[in-house]
A and B are shown apart, each in its own frame.
Chain A
Amino acid sequence: MQVASLIQDAAKRLLAEGQVELVLGFSEGSLPLRSTPGFVRRPEDAVKLIWDHTCENNLAVYLLKRKSKTAIVAKGCDTRAIVTLIQENQVDRNNLYIIGVPCTGMIDRRKVEALLEGQELMAARVDHDQLTVEGKDLEKTVPLAEVLHDTCKACTCPNPVIYDELAGERVPEKPAGDFNGIEAFEAMMAGERKAYLAEELSRCIRCYACRQACPLCYCEECFVDCSTPQWIGKAARTEDNLLFQAVRVFHLAGRCADCGACERACPVGLKLSLLTRKMVKEVKDLFDYEAGLDLERKPVLTTFAVNDPQAFLVKE
Chain B
Amino acid sequence: MIIKKSELSSFLDKLTGQYQVLAPVKKGLEFYFQPISSGVQADLSYSNSVTAPKGILFPQSETLFNYDVQGETADMQECLDTGKKVIFGLRPCDAKSLVLLDKVFHGEKYQDPYYLSRRANTVLVGLGCGEPRGTCFCASLDGGPFGTEGLDLLLVDIGDKYVVEVVSEKGASFLTGASLPLAGKDDRAAAAKAKETAFQACTINLEGLKEKMDVNYDDPVWGFLHEKCLGCGACTYSCPTCHCFDILDEVKDSTGCRVRNWDACMFPLFTLHGSGHNPRPTGKERFRQRFMHKFKYFVDNYGAFACVGCGRCILNCPVNIDIRQVLADIKAGGDEK
Residue ranges of A at the interface with B (Cβ–Cβ < 8 Å): 29-31, 34-37, 39, 41, 57, 61-62, 110, 113-114, 118, 120, 122, 136, 203, 205-209, 211-213, 225, 227, 230, 233-237, 264-265, 267-269
Binds A, one of B72-80, B139-147, B182-190, B315-323: B315-323
5 pairs of A and B residues whose beta carbons are closest in the complex: A235-B61, A265-B318, A207-B233, A209-B232, A212-B230
Binds A, one of B26-34, B94-102, B107-115, B121-129: B26-34
For residue B135, CB closer than 8 A to chain A, the reply is: yes
Check if A110 sits within 8 Å of B29, measured CB to CB.
yes
Docked Cα-Cα span, A205 to B61, in Å, equals 10
Q: Which among B231, B264, B269, B320 has the highest number of chain A CB atoms within 10 Å?
A: B320
Sample of 27 A–B contacts (CB below 8 Å) = A30-B320, A30-B325, A31-B134, A37-B228, A39-B228, A41-B336, A62-B228, A114-B29, A120-B47, A206-B233, A207-B233, A207-B237, A207-B264, A208-B233, A209-B230, A209-B234, A212-B230, A212-B231, A212-B232, A213-B230, A213-B232, A234-B61, A234-B248, A235-B60, A264-B318, A267-B318, A268-B51
Contacts of A29 in B (CB 8 A): 320
Nearest CB on A from B252, distance (A): 12
Contacts of A37 in B (CB 8 A): 228, 319
Contacts of B322 in A (CB 8 A): 30-31
Closest to B325 in A: A30
Number of interface residues of B (CB under 8 A): 45
Tell me the dominant secondary structure on chain A's binding face. loop
Check if B319 sits within 8 Å of A36, measured CB to CB.
yes
Contacts of A122 in B (CB 8 A): 134
Tell me the dominant secondary structure on chain B's binding face. loop
Contacts of A212 in B (CB 8 A): 230-232, 318
Check if A30 sits within 8 Å of B248, measured CB to CB.
no
> Could you say which of B228, B237, B315 contacts A36, with CB atoms under 8 Å apart?
B228
Docked Cα-Cα span, A61 to B231, in Å, equals 12
> Could you say which of A30, A209, A236, A268 contacts B314, with CB atoms under 8 Å apart?
A30
> Could you say which of A34, A207, A234 contacts B320, with CB atoms under 8 Å apart?
A34
Docked Cα-Cα span, A208 to B233, in Å, equals 6
Docked Cα-Cα span, A39 to B50, in Å, equals 29
> Could you say which of B29, B237, B250, B321 contacts A205, with CB atoms under 8 Å apart?
B237
Check if A36 sits within 8 Å of B314, measured CB to CB.
no
For residue B224, CB closer than 8 A to chain A, the reply is: yes
Contacts of A57 in B (CB 8 A): 318-319
Contacts of B224 in A (CB 8 A): 39
- In chain B, positions 289-337 with a C-beta closer than 8 Å to chain A are 314-316, 318-322, 324-325, 336
* Known contacts A57-B319, A203-B27, A233-B250; A31 and B135 CB within 8 A of each other: yes
> Could you say which of A227, A234, A265 contacts B234, with CB atoms under 8 Å apart?
A265
Nearest CB on A from B52, distance (A): 11
For residue B271, CB closer than 8 A to chain A, the reply is: no
For residue B45, CB closer than 8 A to chain A, the reply is: yes
Docked Cα-Cα span, A122 to B134, in Å, equals 8
Contacts of B27 in A (CB 8 A): 203
